[in-house]
């Protein structure tokens, strides 16, 4: 016990250069020790956020908890970034590079059905309807993990050569209609300036991997996401005499089928995957009235900018020509959302040994591309970024049976949180040292 106390005291007074002269082992061990020491705090923060979820651009309580924590640690703190974002600045004991770590804070309009003692019972009005609110994508865990990383690194401040920027981001799931938000607005408001990070890291919970596993991929890892809206206009008439009008319901149905041939017959899927999905379709209000118009909405996912633009062109062409052939018209709107999330290949290769040291080589696995989307991609467009996944499925549970993200039964094994703290903290310190 005395030896351990002496080691901790010795590490606290060593300059970063002296500590690293012995290799990364000593500092990594201290990071891991502190991560385990703070594990109960991280779990408590996560449960608190889970029980008190907030939607995008409305994370007022969450931001206040985060900001107060960072201030207690002695960090320079800026609030109100992109509405509710919080940025903390940790200046190390010596000069050096700058690294950024990001966590998202927003929840989703999902009513939780899990029977947990800290289950969310929050309700709000969302797009004109009452709904529950739930951290159904793990952002509560992300925020708690980054708070833990801040506490670990603040305790090792004198051993860090460089600066760490902690970015707590609102509205990753998208800003409310008519508002700006998320990573793009944080960038617009200068989050990557003064100081400008040399690299940025983030993690995301994964129900595709067990606790203790870390999953990564270099290059394109998550898709670009665009919102599709099509309004089909026909001519209203009696349902008993469809020849007296133009039926937009039938036309809309043909358009849905036609859009699928863009993916199956018109795009080179050996190059990159493409997804075109119609998720909602609305028209009419009575069984014997053919309505005048039908509206549908969907999503488009791509991994290549040229293919993205070509898919957009073909969607517009397909919808308009099918409608015209029936004597109807189609108005197509495509709103570009998140770009492709691309892990910088050089940065990924350089930091992979850190992940393997944290989790063990067998527990660091190559993941498939995901057609999900992530606005961390906006940061990656500006500076080299690395985004990886943290397994959160308990041992003994088949990952194929685990509820996915955005589900009302989404579950995080809290035993995974300490791995999140350890991996992010070690990535930050290892990058700072390697980039000196």
Considering the domain boundaries, does residue 266 fall inside one? yes
Angstrom distance (rounded) from CA 8 to CA 11? 5
Considering the domain boundaries, does residue 3 fall inside one? no
Pair (267, 405) in one structural domain: no
Q: Does the structure show a pLDDT above 60 at 2? A: no
Pair (254, 392) in one structural domain: no
pLDDT tens readout for residues 252-283: 999 999 999 999 999 999 999 999 999 999 99
Considering the domain boundaries, does residue 396 fall inside one? yes
End of a domain among 322, 338, 354? 338
Pair (182, 277) in one structural domain: no
Pair (162, 204) in one structural domain: yes
List the catalytic residue out of 37, 180, 331, 414. Answer: 414
Pair (406, 424) in one structural domain: yes
Q: Does the structure show a pLDDT above 50 at 182? A: yes
Considering the domain boundaries, does residue 9 fall inside one? no
pLDDT in the model for residue 127: 86
Q: Does the structure show a pLDDT above 70 at 166? A: yes
pLDDT tens readout for residues 361-399: 999 999 999 999 999 999 999 999 999 999 999 999 999
Q: Is 212 left (phi over 0), alpha (psi -120 to 50) or beta?
A: left
Considering the domain boundaries, does residue 10 fall inside one? no
pLDDT tens readout for residues 210-235: 999 999 999 999 999 999 999 999 99
pLDDT tens readout for residues 23-50: 458 899 999 999 999 999 999 999 999 9
Pair (362, 260) in one structural domain: no
Q: What is the CATH number of the domain that holds 318?
A: 3.30.70.360
Pair (158, 269) in one structural domain: no
End of a domain among 338, 364, 380? 338
Considering the domain boundaries, does residue 263 fall inside one? yes
Pair (291, 182) in one structural domain: no
Q: 3-state SS of 46-99?
A: HHHHHHCCCCCCCCHHHHHHHHHHHHHCCCEEEEEECCCEEEEEEECCEEEEEE
Q: Is 178 left (phi over 0), alpha (psi -120 to 50) or beta?
A: left
| Average pLDDT taken over every residue of the chain | 94
Considering the domain boundaries, does residue 191 fall inside one? yes
Domains: count for the chain:
2
End of a domain among 311, 338, 365? 338
Q: Which domain holds residue 122?
A: 15-222+340-434
Pair (43, 151) in one structural domain: yes
pLDDT tens readout for residues 6-28: 344 444 444 444 444 444 588 99
> Taking the model in full, what pTM does it have?
0.91
Q: Does the structure show a pLDDT above 80 at 157? A: yes
Pair (58, 124) in one structural domain: yes
Pair (214, 228) in one structural domain: no
113 Cβ contact list (under 8 Å, min separation 6):
408, 409
pLDDT tens readout for residues 307-341: 999 999 999 999 999 999 999 999 999 999 999 99
Considering the domain boundaries, does residue 6 fall inside one? no
Pair (192, 262) in one structural domain: no
Q: Is 338 assigned a catalytic role?
A: yes
Q: Is 297 assigned a catalytic role?
A: no
**If we measure between CA atoms, which residue out of 229, 218, 207, 192 comes closest to residue 369?**
218
Percent of the chain with pLDDT strictly greater than 70: 94
In this structure, what DSSP letter does residue 159 have?
A: G
List the catalytic residue out of 338, 387, 388, 433. Answer: 338
């Amino acid at each position: 016990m005395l030896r351990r106390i002496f080691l901790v005291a010795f590490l606290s007074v060593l300059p970063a250069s002296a500590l690293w002269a012995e290799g990364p082992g000593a500092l990594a061990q201290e990071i891991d020790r502190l991560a385990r020491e703070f594990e109960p705090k991280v779990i408590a923060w996560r449960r608190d956020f889970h029980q008190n979820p907030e939607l995008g651009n409305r994370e007022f309580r969450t931001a206040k908890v985060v900001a107060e924590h960072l201030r207690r640690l002695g960090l320079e703190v800026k609030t109100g970034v992109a509405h509710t974002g919080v940025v903390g600045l940790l200046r190390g004991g010596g000069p050096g590079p700058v690294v950024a770590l990001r966590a998202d804070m927003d929840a989703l309009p999902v009513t939780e059905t899990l029977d947990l003692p800290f289950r969310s019972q929050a309700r709000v009005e969302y797009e004109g309807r009452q709904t529950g609110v739930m951290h159904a994508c793990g952002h509560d865990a992300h925020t708690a993990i980054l708070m833990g990383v801040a506490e670990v690194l603040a305790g090792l401040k004198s051993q860090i050569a460089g600066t760490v920027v902690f970015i707590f981001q609102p509205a990753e799931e998208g800003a409310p209609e008519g508002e700006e938000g998320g990573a793009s607005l944080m960038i617009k408001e200068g989050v990557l300036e003064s100081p400008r990070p040399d690299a940025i890291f983030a993690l995301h919970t994964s129900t595709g991997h067990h606790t203790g596993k870390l999953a990564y991929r270099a290059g394109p890892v998550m898709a670009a996401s665009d919102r599709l809206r099509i309004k089909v206009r026909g001519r209203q008439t009696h349902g008993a005499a469809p020849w007296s009008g133009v039926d937009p319901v039938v036309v809309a149905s043909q358009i849905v089928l036609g859009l699928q041939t863009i993916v199956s017959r018109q795009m080179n899927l050996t190059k990159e995957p493409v997804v075109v999905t119609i998720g909602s379709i609305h028209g009419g209000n009575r069984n014997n009235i053919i309505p005048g118009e039908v509206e549908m909405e969907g999503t488009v996912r791509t991994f290549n900018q040229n293919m993205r633009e070509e898919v957009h062109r073909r969607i517009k062409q397909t919808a308009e020509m099918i409608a015209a052939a029936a004597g109807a018209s189609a108005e197509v709107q495509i709103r570009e959302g998140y770009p492709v999330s691309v892990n910088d290949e050089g940065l990924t290769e350089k930091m992979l040994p850190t992940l393997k040291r944290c989790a063990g080589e067998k527990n660091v696995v190559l993941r498939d591309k995901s057609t999900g989307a992530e606005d961390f991609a906006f940061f990656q467009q500006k500076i080299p970024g690395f985004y990886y996944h943290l397994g959160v499925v308990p041992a003994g549970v088949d990952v194929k049976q685990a509820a996915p993200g955005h589900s009302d039964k989404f579950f995080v094994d809290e035993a995974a949180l300490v791995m999140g703290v350890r991996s992010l903290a070690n990535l930050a310190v290892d990058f700072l040292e390697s980039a000196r």
